[in-house]
Amino acid sequence: MSPETNILVDQFGRKHDYLRISLTERCNLRCTYCMPAEGIVLRPREEFMRTEEVMAIAQTFVDLGVKKIRLTGGEPLVRKDAGAVIELLSKLPVELSISTNGILIDQHIDRLEACGVKAVNVSLDSLKRERMLAITRRDYFDRITQNIQLLIDRGFDVKINNVVTKGVNDDEIIDFISWTKETPVAVRFIEFMPFNGNEWDWSKGVSLDDILKRTTDHFGVFGFERIADKPNDTSKNYRLKNGAGSFAIISTVTNPFCDSCNRIRLTADGKLKNCLFSGSETDLLTTLRNGEDIRPLIASSIQNKKAVRSGMESFDAFSNTEEHGKNRQMVAIGG
């Protein structure tokens, strides 16, 4: 391992070879767990990374050893030059993927295919149109579900991200799992996580154990099976017996996976976050614009990464609402 590659290895021996780049804070939905109904304050365009700056920072990370880049938002595809960014990043020696709400997929699917993007994560919190409207505050259900089917038909590796909230959509857990019986999708149930402004309260949460109990009660002990997780997976993965797809649980709240974390995040305004829950950030964009080397900043950020959830090791610490306010709103981080 070269000295530069060591920059991405933290004090706990975790190698950070997966970079998530947020292309924009803007979104065409207003999901309740992600942003306020009125949206967020729109800042001047010059505060955000230009295409060439995205590429310069991405190239630096690739030179240091990053092997995978995922584009996030906001909704990454609402950025006007999203297509150009995808094409340029596809020329780097990385696995390129994207997380989206699916609304604009049909306009970009040819480019994604041509650029070798195989994995697409789509947010879908309900299989019911009216409920999706209540959660997202926008009526795009038909378009999203049609675009999910389009991705499946075109052979993409499709993951469905579902934030499970008690009394909102937890009664659809079995419906989502049943969907994977005949459909080659990977449904991922995500425990409700705290961010600035999303009114988090664990009384609204549905845990990994709860989801597994409901699954066992409905399908029986032998109706589903544990399947192998990929290295650095954030999810615990399962499949119905003879199922075409799979389902998984991302248990950030009740069973964190920090010991194998290989992720770092670059916000749309060029700040590096070494943890999704970190209130502190490292400004790479200003340094880049000053013509200075961003690698020392990257090294410092990685070495200062905490062992668990930005230092919030206990459930009580993680539940402290004062800590939530130190972080950004989810839409401004990039998932």
Residues linked to residue 195 through DSSP beta bridges, in sequence order:
none
pLDDT digits (tens, 9 = 90+) for 280-296: 899 999 999 999 999 99
pTM for the predicted model, two decimal places: 0.92
User: 3-333: which CATH topology?
Assistant: TIM Barrel (3.20.20)
CA distance 33 to 135: 8
Break the chain into its structural domains and give their ranges. Answer: 3-333
Taking the C-alpha atoms of residue 104 and residue 144, their distance in angstroms, rounded to an integer, is 8
Task: Supply the DSSP symbol for 220.
Answer: -
Which tens digits make up the pLDDT trace of 3-46? 455 899 999 999 999 999 999 999 999 888 877 767 778 889 99
Strand partners, 224: 240
Task: Inform me whether the pLDDT recorded for 115 exceeds 90.
Answer: yes
